[in-house]
Amino acid sequence: MNPGVHDALHAFGPQAGNIVDLWRVFLVVCTVVFAAVLVALILALRRAPRIHALEPPDLGTLNVPEPRVRRNVTTAVAIATLGLLVLLAASVFTDRALARMSLKDAVHIEVTAYQWWWSVKYIDGPVSQTFATANEIHVPVGRPVIVRLNGGDVIHSLWVPSLAGKRDLIPGRTANITFRADHPGIFRGQCAEFCGFQHAFMAFEVHADAPADYEAWRQQQLQPAAEPSDPQAQRGKMLFQSIQCAMCHAVQGTIAQGQMAPDLTHLASRRTIAAGTLPNTAANLAAWIADPQKHKPGVNMPPNPMSGTDLAALVAYLGTLK
């Protein structure tokens, strides 16, 4: 499975492009400074006087004025100060460029981070047009996106390096991040703030779709879960609603309205499960349901011991949630 682009040096939107340009300025300035320091060190070592270990040190030059050395140090300090001012100016101009992106006709999304998954809610328009998904964000190419960020438990940090910079999600505080995808594709995101045992396995994907494809996806997400027609899937639905799954997960159009875990209404349309940990296949889904701790130790989802027949029926039902 293609994991999606995750490259901070290749921008696919204006916000990431501004950050890459700033990085290049820092790289050039810091490289020049580093090279100059190495050259000065090498010259100092080559010109340093050599004496035998048993010879007494020559202290006669301690009080001799050294205008050349003073001039060189003063010049180095002036150049270093100028370099710092250049970096400061570049940072200010980049910050202004990030703030200048037009937000006309923006898509509004609310993301809440939990240990260790992402709740994604689309909040454009009236309440009837609001829907939720998890660990996967779809945006239309060419339209700005405003993401409202909330921390559900501890401090997390949302980072999609190909589209934007990092922004912390702090419990009790609300932050915003804006970006625009100028090219279609799948871009990998990651929590960039250590948030616990499974921090490294807290990923998500941003799908930049053509406007028509995005609208088709949005209309699909607004629909409740389809009623399964296959007997095995029907049995799986009964199991889902009768065991602990329905206490934590929601499936719109059913009695399952849990809010403590990802919304599964359209689970089968997602590329991954467990916040990017596993490809979304029937085999992986069965293994995840049976023993999530094996794949993501410390996750809040408990193991679900059940017979092979029941597990197959439950997976068949979840496979209908497209």
> Which CATH number do you get for residue 256?
2.60.40.420
Do 115 and 203 share a domain, yes or no? yes
Do 205 and 248 share a domain, yes or no? no
For the chain, give the percent of residues with pLDDT over 90.
Answer: 78
Mean pLDDT of 3-19: 89
Do 119 and 217 share a domain, yes or no? yes
Residue 140 domain-assigned?
A: yes
- Looking at the structure of the chain, the number of domains it has is 3
Domain boundary among 202, 222, 242: 222
Q: At what angle do helices 308-318 and 282-290 cross, to 10 degrees?
A: 120
Residue 200 domain-assigned?
A: yes
Do 90 and 172 share a domain, yes or no? no
| Residues 26/32/36/42 CA torsion (nearest 10 deg) | 100
Residues 158, 298: contact at Cβ < 8 Å?
Answer: no
Nearest to 163 by CA among 1, 321, 2, 7: 7
* Residue 50, domain extent: 14-99
pLDDT in tens, 266-301: 999 999 999 999 999 999 999 999 999 999 999 999
Do 197 and 121 share a domain, yes or no? yes
Between 7 and 317, residue with greater pLDDT: 317
Q: Which contiguous run of DSSP H or E holds residue 189?
A: strand 185-191
pLDDT in tens, 116-169: 999 999 999 888 899 999 999 999 999 999 999 999 999 999 999 999 999 999
